[in-house]
Amino acid sequence: MSITKESELVGMQNASKAVAQTLKQMMQYAQPGMSTKELDDYGASVLSDFRAKSAPYLTYGFPGWTCISVDNEFCHGIPSSKKY
């Protein structure tokens, strides 16, 4: 993505802040035995509080609002109801 206007820069900065805060809050919310789907649902609510939208979910039909991986799984994992 190329940023060509000040408003685009501000938008990217706001999106970055929303993502950083969402990640921080998700890390604090996460508990042993919780499913990645539960954590994803929480992340969706945090993003919503920022009036942010998940590009993978809305643009590409990704089956989650966040990309969650556990331990040594590959990145961009799909949220699951499986408990860890």
- Domain-wise residue ranges, the chain: 1-84
What pTM did the predictor assign? 0.79
Question: What is the model's pLDDT at position 60?
Answer: 87
Phi and psi angles of residue 32, each rounded to the nearest 5 degrees, phi first: -60, 140
Number of residues in the chain: 84
Task: Give 4-52 pLDDT, tens digit per residue.
Answer: 999 999 999 999 999 999 999 999 999 999 999 999 999 999 999 999 9
**Alpha carbon 71 to chain centroid, angstroms:** 17
Secondary structure of 11-79 in the HEC alphabet?
Answer: HHHHHHHHHHHHHHHHHHHCCCCCEHHHHHHHHHHHHHHCCCCCHHHHHHCCCCCCCCCCCCCCCCCCC
